[in-house]
Amino acid sequence: MKKNHSYCGIIEKYREYLPVTKKTPVITLNEGNTPLIYAPALSKLVGKGAEVYLKYEGLNPTGSFKDRGMTMAISKACEEGAKAVMCASTGNTSASAAAYAAKAKLKCIVLIPSGAIALGKLSQALIHGAKVLAIDGNFDKALELAREITRRYSITLVNSLNPFRIEGQKTASFEICDYLGTAPDFQVMPVGNAGNITAYWKGYKEYKSIGRISALPKMLGFQAEGAAPIVKGHPIKDPHTIATAIKIGNPASWTQAEAARDESNGLIDMVSDKQILDAYKLLAQIEGVFVEPASAASVAGLLKLSKKGYFKAKAKITCILTGHGLKDPDRAIASINKPKIIKPDLKTILKEIGY
């Protein structure tokens, strides 16, 4: 099964840093290798000579960063002889699990909070043939149930509690360092279930321990105000935010997220839905990059901190844009004026466009 492309996904690229052997069947959709886009307009907004880069994880095969973790989790599940995998999800994990499970010919069961996941994500889980069960409850309840079921039956849990998910996702920090030739000074990212901040921090620390980078970034995580358990210091029973991907009240990797924050001298803070939506539109309109609302929490956080004068001069900052804007088209359409309906004639159009 030798491939003749030059790039074959994160397991082949970073094999020496991952818990795989020659015997591991590699289930890949050529995830990873996402662009790190220099953002001149945002850099200017931050000021003080800042260099802001956008890690556009929405360009992964299923449109989110989850694919990095899923190629590992599904490959290892196959190696271990699993027949079925399961996850709870606010949407992206289910989309990714469904796609990789389809490729691996594994049964995939996903538990989603009913009515609370974005349209694009639901369409993915369904079209890839997963058994999709919508529970009358939130993500935290769905995860509790998925943990219980996978403890009792031989079904592999592919949420980020599965350590192989973290291993795969840490490769994004390798890519950033490989591209910049150094670690950034600061990394800004959304925090939901807190697996991704855990993964990035692990990746940065590993690159430093083998001398690939000489300094570590400060990790800056952002939760949505209505779903900010880590900021508030207690679980949130009934989380709410328009950023449905991070509508999570009791993150599974809470302790590890706090460790990333504290070891890096960073912070975990929150942004309001208004700040998220403003950043969502701004990013699309000044940088040409369309992300889903949860991903815009990172840019909202960047702007919140820069207004406070948080960043030192000439800071190198990466913003992690975790998911593609097309995941949640309803939100885009609800955020912007609808197109005007006009008569099909030249004069009317020219008048409308000011010519």
Q: Site residues (CB under 6 A) for ligand AN7?
A: 64, 89-93, 160, 190-196, 245-246, 292, 294-295, 322-323
Question: 10 Å Cβ neighbour count for 346?
Answer: 8
CB-based contact 83:104 (threshold 8 Å): no
Q: Which of 325, 329, 324 is nearest to 63 (CA)?
A: 324
| Residue at 331: amino acid letter | R
3-class secondary-structure state, position 93: helix
CB atoms within 10 A of CB 265: 10
CB nearer ligand AN7, residue 28 or residue 60:
60
Cβ nearer to ligand AN7, comparing 51 with 157: 157
Supply the minimum distance, in Å, between the C-beta of residue 131 and ligand AN7: 16
Instruction: Choose among 292, 248, 215: nearest CA to 56.
Output: 292
Q: How far is the CB of 31 from ligand AN7 (least distance, A)?
A: 15
Closest CB 85 distance from ligand AN7, rounded Å: 14
Considering the complex, state which of residue 213 and residue 276 has its C-beta at the smaller distance from ligand AN7. 276
Closest approach of Cβ 353 to ligand AN7, in Å? Answer: 35
State both tokens at 227: 């779903």
DSSP run (H or E) holding 15:
none
The shares of helix, strand and coil residues in the chain, as percent rounded to the nearest 5, are 45, 15, 40
Q: Which is nearer to ligand AN7, 51 or 201 (CB)?
A: 201
Whole-number Cα distances in Å, 285 to 41, 247, 282, 288 = 10, 25, 5, 6
CB of 56 to ligand AN7, least distance (A): 12
Nearer residue to ligand AN7 within complex by CB, 124 or 295: 295
Identify which of residues 51 and 70 has a Cβ nearer to ligand AN7 in the complex. 70
Residue 123 to residue 53: CA distance in whole angstroms: 30
Provide the 8-state DSSP code for 341.
Answer: P
Minimum CB separation from ligand AN7 for residue 90, in Å? 4
